[in-house]
Amino acid sequence: MRPATTRIASDTSGFWQAGHRPTLIAAFLYFDLAFMVWVLLGPLAPIISKDLALTPAEKGFMVAVPTLAGAILRIVNGLLVDRIGPKTTGAISQLIVVAGLAAAWFFGVHSYQGTLAVGVVLGFAGASFAVALPLASRWYPPEHQGKAMGIAGMGNSGTVLAALFAPLLAKAFGWNAVLGLAVIPLTIVFVLYMAMAKDSPNRPAPKSFAAYLSVLKHQDAWWFMLFYGVTFGGFVGLSSSLSIYFTDSFGLTPVIAGYCTAACVFAGSLVRPVGGAVADRIGGIKALTVVYLLAAATLVAISVGPRSLAIALPLFVLVMGTLGFGNGAVFQLVPQRFHAEIGIMTGLVGFGGGVGGFYLASSLGLAKQLTGTPQAGFLIFAALAIIALAGLTIVKNRWRATWGAANGARI
């Protein structure tokens, strides 16, 4: 029997030889910069809200709109990925975002309604999820899906860039200028993407739109939407809202709040590929069981209302790391159950995640306006994690006995 270290080295070497490395890198870069701009309004929210005199509910809704728009557009992109291919779909989405941000910068955003319009444009960046993951996934066999999807999905780290640099740039040049400055890296990545990305030859034949949506007849599709609605929904909802939370709860400046948010988001992004790799080894079901338990417990602790930043920050780092780990675990399972429909399923599951993020971000703002504190929003989301855990318990035996046994990979 080979030593464990030898097996790990062999697995890693086999992974890099199994797929198309330039496409995997291109998928990561596209996803990374798209996520950077998708949550851009979150780190800017304390500055925008002061400039436009927004209420807590308006702040919450403003940062939630890109998440909801991205959720809806993920279904559109999921369909297009299977119809015209992921590379072309991604190119179209990137051009829309670049053009929209350039227009917002040139004409200026002067009202709450204007920020909502920008949020809809940013939704096209959030829909990158339904492109980048199938673009990478189709190049890799079942035993490497967790690692491939984890690396491509680590583009979540783009939210760190937004949290770190958006408040600093807004302080130096004004928040409206940040929209224009974002066009520069987006354009560079678009050029790299067009040069490096390549559609897999294993792309399934196009089907009718009705045939694509027929996956909704399978209850497993709805379960995956729920599971990702908690893991990714929690991750992106907090990514969009933590700058507001830190400034309102602890009186931090937008820049310092951005640093704190970046630390939390970095934890969630860093461990996403770890979650996928661990799920490859022990199975996504076991991994998600731990995720939902730990996430629920941490969110309950947060809902109590930590009185100091020294207590709150580690709790948010922990919950974001847990949710990021769960994101990788969910997408170790999805391609194994719906390999032929991975484009539309990525869109649908991403839609579930986006809806979860929209709910969390908007509910925190609404709770703040109604009760004076956002803590009730955290408690309700903890309950959703328990519901997801109950659902996982219901389906796990059937999954292991049916499609899990058929494809030979651990679930």
Split into its structural domains, the chain has a count of 1
In the prediction, which pLDDT does 11 show? 53
27-43 residue pLDDT tens: 999 999 999 999 999 99
In the prediction, which pLDDT does 343 show? 72
In the prediction, which pLDDT does 13 show? 55
Rounded to two decimals, the pTM is 0.86
In the prediction, which pLDDT does 7 show? 40
In the prediction, which pLDDT does 148 show? 81
Structural contact between residues 277 and 147, judged by C-beta atoms closer than 8 angstroms: yes
What DSSP character marks residue 203? P
Structural contact between residues 206 and 332, judged by C-beta atoms closer than 8 angstroms: no
CATH number of the domain where residue 55 is located: 1.20.1250.20
For residue 174, is it within any domain?
yes
For residue 5, is it within any domain?
no
For residue 37, is it within any domain?
yes
Ranges of residues in the chain whose predicted pLDDT is under 70:
1-13, 16, 409
Q: How far apart are CA 50 and CA 40, in angstroms?
A: 16
Domain span including residue 132: 20-199+212-407
For residue 10, is it within any domain?
no
In the prediction, which pLDDT does 1 show? 42
For the chain, counts of helices (H) and of strands (E): 20, 0
In the structure encoding, which two tokens stand for residue 314, read together?
């580690």
Roughly how many angstroms between the first and final C-alpha of the chain, as a whole number?
23
Residue type, 195: A
In the prediction, which pLDDT does 3 show? 44
Cα torsion 208, 209, 214, 220: sign: positive
